[in-house]
Amino acid sequence: MPAGPPAFDYRHSPKGIMASTPHPIPCRLDEPIDRFLAYVTVEKGLAPNTLEAYGRDLGRFAAFLQHEGLGSLAEVDTAVILKYLIVLRREGLGARSRARHLVSLRGFFRFVCQEKIVRSDPTRLINLPKSGLHLPVVIPFSDIQRLLAAPDTRRPLGRRDAAMLELLYAAGLRVSELVSLHLKHLNLEAGFVRVVGKGAKERVVPIGTQAQKVLRDYITNGRPRLLKNEASPYVFIARQGRPMTRQGFWKIIKKYSLTSCINYNISPHTIRHSFASHLLEGGADLRAVQIMLGHADIATTQIYTHVTADRLKAVHRRYHPRG
Task: Name the residues annotated as catalytic.
Answer: 174, 198, 269, 272, 295, 304
**What are the Cα distances from residue 42, in Å, to 36, 46, 47, 48, 323?**
10, 8, 11, 12, 54
Contact criterion met (CB below 8 Å) for 168 and 178: yes
For residue 242, the Cα-to-chain-centroid distance in whole angstroms is: 31
Are the C-beta atoms of 293 and 272 separated by less than 8 Å?
yes
Tell me 227's DSSP state.
H
Q: Rounded to whole angstroms, how far apart are CA atoms 173 and 268?
A: 9
Note the Cα 117 to chain centre separation in Å. Answer: 30
In terms of residues, how long is the chain?
323
Q: Count CB neighbours of 250 within 10 A.
A: 13
CB 156 within 8 A of CB 226: yes
Q: How many whole angstroms separate alpha carbon 164 and alpha carbon 180? A: 12
- Under 8 Å between Cβ of 159 and 153: yes
> What count of Cα atoms within 13 Å lies in the side-chain half-sphere of residue 251?
5
Q: Shortest CA distance to 197 belongs to which of 93, 292, 87?
A: 292
Sign of CA dihedral 278, 284, 286, 290: negative
d(CA 197, CA 177): 6
Q: Are 15 and 53 in contact (CB under 8 A)?
A: no
Buried b / exposed e over 286-313, threshold 16 CB at 10 Å, is eeebbebbbbeeebbbbbbbbbbeeeee
